[in-house]
Amino acid sequence: MKTNKLIYWISTGLLCGLMLFSASMYLTKPDMVAGFFKQLNYPTYLVYPLATAKILAVVAILSRKSAFLKEWAYAGIFFDVVLAFTAHIMAQDGGWMMAFAGIVLVVVSRFLDGRVFE
Protein backbone atom coordinates (compact mmCIF):
# COMPACT_ATOMS: atom_id res chain seq x y z
CA MET A 1 0.00 0.00 0.00
CA LYS A 2 2.85 2.42 0.78
CA THR A 3 4.45 1.68 -2.58
CA ASN A 4 1.18 2.38 -4.40
CA LYS A 5 0.82 5.68 -2.55
CA LEU A 6 4.40 6.70 -3.36
CA ILE A 7 4.02 5.82 -7.05
CA TYR A 8 0.65 7.62 -7.12
CA TRP A 9 2.11 10.86 -5.74
CA ILE A 10 5.16 10.71 -8.01
CA SER A 11 3.09 10.08 -11.15
CA THR A 12 0.44 12.63 -10.16
CA GLY A 13 3.07 15.24 -9.33
CA LEU A 14 4.83 14.71 -12.65
CA LEU A 15 1.51 14.76 -14.53
CA CYS A 16 0.40 17.97 -12.83
CA GLY A 17 3.82 19.49 -13.46
CA LEU A 18 3.60 18.59 -17.14
CA MET A 19 0.13 20.12 -17.43
CA LEU A 20 1.11 23.29 -15.57
CA PHE A 21 4.27 23.68 -17.64
CA SER A 22 2.24 23.27 -20.81
CA ALA A 23 -0.41 25.75 -19.63
CA SER A 24 2.27 28.28 -18.67
CA MET A 25 3.79 28.03 -22.15
CA TYR A 26 0.34 28.53 -23.69
CA LEU A 27 -0.21 31.66 -21.58
CA THR A 28 3.26 33.22 -21.71
CA LYS A 29 4.18 32.40 -25.31
CA PRO A 30 0.86 32.13 -27.18
CA ASP A 31 2.31 33.10 -30.57
CA MET A 32 4.92 30.35 -30.41
CA VAL A 33 2.31 27.79 -29.30
CA ALA A 34 -0.07 28.95 -32.04
CA GLY A 35 2.73 28.27 -34.54
CA PHE A 36 3.06 24.73 -33.19
CA PHE A 37 -0.71 24.29 -33.42
CA LYS A 38 -0.63 25.39 -37.08
CA GLN A 39 2.13 22.86 -37.83
CA LEU A 40 0.04 20.12 -36.23
CA ASN A 41 -3.12 21.22 -38.08
CA TYR A 42 -4.97 22.29 -34.93
CA PRO A 43 -6.90 25.55 -34.77
CA THR A 44 -5.02 28.30 -32.97
CA TYR A 45 -8.09 29.53 -31.09
CA LEU A 46 -7.68 26.50 -28.79
CA VAL A 47 -4.54 27.88 -27.12
CA TYR A 48 -6.22 29.83 -24.30
CA PRO A 49 -9.12 27.43 -23.64
CA LEU A 50 -6.68 24.50 -23.42
CA ALA A 51 -4.44 26.41 -21.01
CA THR A 52 -7.44 27.14 -18.81
CA ALA A 53 -8.68 23.55 -19.00
CA LYS A 54 -5.26 22.19 -18.02
CA ILE A 55 -5.06 24.44 -14.97
CA LEU A 56 -8.59 23.54 -13.89
CA ALA A 57 -7.83 19.83 -14.37
CA VAL A 58 -4.83 20.06 -12.07
CA VAL A 59 -6.94 21.85 -9.46
CA ALA A 60 -9.68 19.20 -9.72
CA ILE A 61 -7.22 16.32 -9.33
CA LEU A 62 -5.25 17.79 -6.45
CA SER A 63 -8.18 19.26 -4.51
CA ARG A 64 -10.08 15.95 -4.40
CA LYS A 65 -13.27 17.91 -3.64
CA SER A 66 -15.44 16.25 -6.28
CA ALA A 67 -15.03 12.72 -7.61
CA PHE A 68 -17.11 13.71 -10.64
CA LEU A 69 -14.83 16.63 -11.55
CA LYS A 70 -11.73 14.56 -10.86
CA GLU A 71 -12.90 11.90 -13.33
CA TRP A 72 -13.58 14.54 -15.98
CA ALA A 73 -10.16 16.05 -15.33
CA TYR A 74 -8.43 12.71 -15.85
CA ALA A 75 -10.51 12.12 -19.00
CA GLY A 76 -9.70 15.57 -20.38
CA ILE A 77 -6.00 15.17 -19.74
CA PHE A 78 -6.05 11.70 -21.28
CA PHE A 79 -7.72 12.98 -24.46
CA ASP A 80 -5.33 15.92 -24.60
CA VAL A 81 -2.19 13.78 -24.42
CA VAL A 82 -3.53 11.12 -26.80
CA LEU A 83 -4.43 13.77 -29.38
CA ALA A 84 -1.02 15.44 -28.90
CA PHE A 85 0.72 12.09 -29.33
CA THR A 86 -1.26 11.33 -32.49
CA ALA A 87 -0.66 14.79 -33.95
CA HIS A 88 3.09 14.55 -33.39
CA ILE A 89 3.23 11.06 -34.92
CA MET A 90 1.24 12.23 -37.96
CA ALA A 91 3.43 15.33 -38.36
CA GLN A 92 6.56 13.19 -37.97
CA ASP A 93 8.22 15.99 -36.02
CA GLY A 94 9.72 13.85 -33.27
CA GLY A 95 7.80 15.64 -30.52
CA TRP A 96 5.79 12.62 -29.45
CA MET A 97 7.88 11.59 -26.43
CA MET A 98 6.44 14.12 -23.95
CA ALA A 99 2.92 13.24 -25.05
CA PHE A 100 3.68 9.55 -24.59
CA ALA A 101 5.05 10.28 -21.12
CA GLY A 102 1.80 12.13 -20.41
CA ILE A 103 -0.22 9.08 -21.46
CA VAL A 104 1.77 6.84 -19.13
CA LEU A 105 1.51 9.30 -16.24
CA VAL A 106 -2.24 9.83 -16.56
CA VAL A 107 -2.90 6.08 -16.75
CA VAL A 108 -0.71 5.31 -13.73
CA SER A 109 -2.08 8.23 -11.70
CA ARG A 110 -5.72 7.37 -12.41
CA PHE A 111 -5.25 3.64 -11.83
CA LEU A 112 -3.53 4.18 -8.50
CA ASP A 113 -5.95 6.94 -7.46
CA GLY A 114 -8.68 4.31 -7.33
CA ARG A 115 -6.50 1.96 -5.27
CA VAL A 116 -5.02 4.49 -2.85
CA PHE A 117 -8.03 6.68 -2.03
CA GLU A 118 -11.19 4.69 -2.74
DSSP letter string, 31-96: HHHHHHHHHTT--GGGHHHHHHHHHHHHHHHHH---HHHHHHHHHHHHHHHHHHHHHHHHHT-STH
Closest CA to 55 of 6, 25, 16: 16
- Report pLDDT digits (tens) over 21-52: 999 999 999 999 999 999 888 899 999 999 99
The total domain count for the chain is 1
Q: Does 89 score more than 90 pLDDT?
A: yes
Note the pLDDT of residue 96. Answer: 93
Q: 103: pLDDT confidence band, cut at 50, 70 and 90?
A: very high
Q: Does 94 score more than 90 pLDDT?
A: no
Domain holding 56, by residue range, is 2-117
